[in-house]
Amino acid sequence: MKRKFYIVTLTALALFLSAAILWSAPNVLAQPPAQQATPTLSMVPDNRTDEAGPYCVAKGGTVTERFPTYNTNASQAQWLRLAGSRYFCTFLAPADASGFQSQISIDLDTLYADQPTLAVLAYLEPVALPPFTGANPATMYCQKLGGSDIWGGQDNAAGGGWVTQAPDSKTNFQIVSMCMFPDGSMIDAWGLTYKANDVVRGVDLSKVVRYQPTQLPNVFTGGASANQAAESDVDKSLTFKDNGAPVTLKPGDVLSITLDSNPTTGYTWKVSQNDDKVLLPLGEPQFSLGGKAPMPGAGGTETFQFKALDKGKTTLTLLYTRPWETNVTPMPNETFSVTVTVE
C-alpha cells in the first residue's frame, strides 16, 4: 500500500515539475512567426563578415544580399527562389550626362580574398572576347573562361539570376547575372564581359579587391596570354588601308595587323600564307568590340600579331572566309596581303 502511495506521489510530482517548466517557458507556439529582418552586416553568414562587409563599404561599395532564382524570364509571380543566399559588394559609377550609373557586383568572399580566385584573375587578366553568334555575350564569355551563369541547363530559355528583395531601380539591378567559377568565386558576368572590351562598369575592381599580385599567374588561355606582345611592345601596326604596302622590320620587331570583322556572319580572318621562320605568329587573333557595348550581332576587329625572327622575306596573306565554304574565291575586300622584309 505504501509502495503504491509513493508511485502516485512521484508521478504527481513529475507532472507538477513539467507543468512548471512549460508555464515558465516562452509561449513560442502562441507567437506568430517572426518576419525576416532586414539584412545587416552582422547577419552575413561568414566568419569574416566583421572584416569583409566593412571592407566593401570602405571601398565605396554596398553589401547586398541576393537569392539564387530560377525562371526570371517569366513574370515575377512564377520565379522560383532556390535555397540559400549570398552576399555581394555592389559598386556604382558616378552618373553620366544622362544620369545613368553603371554598376558591378562581386561576391563578398571573392572581393575580400587575399589569395587568387578565378573570378578576380578573370577580371585582372581579360582574354579575347569570343565571336558573338547571337547568344548572350556575357554567357558566352563566362563559358569561355570556364565559368557558368546558366540556369536549368544549356538551351533552357527560362532564365535565372541572383535577385535582391529590393525592386529594380536606377541604383539597383534586381536581377544580376553572376559568372560562377569552379573554385566558387563569383563576379558580375556583364561587368566581366565589358572589362574584356576595355569598358569599366561601376568601378575598376583591380583597385579595390584585396588580392594585389605583383605578377599575374596567367591562368586563362585563348586570349591575352604570355605569348602575346603588350601594346607598348608593338613596333608596327597595320590596318586594311595598308593592304599591298611593303613592310620592313628588324629581327625582334613585333607586327600588329587589325582588320574589321563580324564573326556573327560566320566570317573570320585566317592566315593563308606566311613563312613562320621569318614571321612567327604570336598567340591567337584577338577579337575586340572597340569599346562598343557587348551585344548579339555586334561587329568589331580581329588583331593578329607576328614577331620578326630572322632576316628574310615573306608574303603574309590573310583571308576573310567562312570555314565551311572551301570552294569560294575571296573577294578583294576579303583578302589582306603584304610583303614583309626582315633586314
pLDDT at 13: 44
Rounded CA-CA distance 223/215 in Å is 17
pLDDT at 83: 97
Q: Domain 231-342: give its CATH architecture.
A: Sandwich (2.60)
pLDDT at 267: 84
Rounded CA-CA distance 232/149 in Å is 35
pLDDT at 292: 66
161 beta partners: 69
Rounded CA-CA distance 291/97 in Å is 18
Amino acid at 98: S
pLDDT at 330: 76
114-143 tens-digit pLDDT = 999 999 999 998 887 776 666 788 998 999
Sequence spans of domains, the chain: 41-207, 231-342
Q: pTM of the entire structure?
A: 0.60
Strands laid side by side in the 247-249 sheet: 247-249, 335-342, 312-321, 268-273
Low-confidence ranges of the chain (pLDDT < 70): 1-49, 131-134, 221-228, 230, 264, 291-298
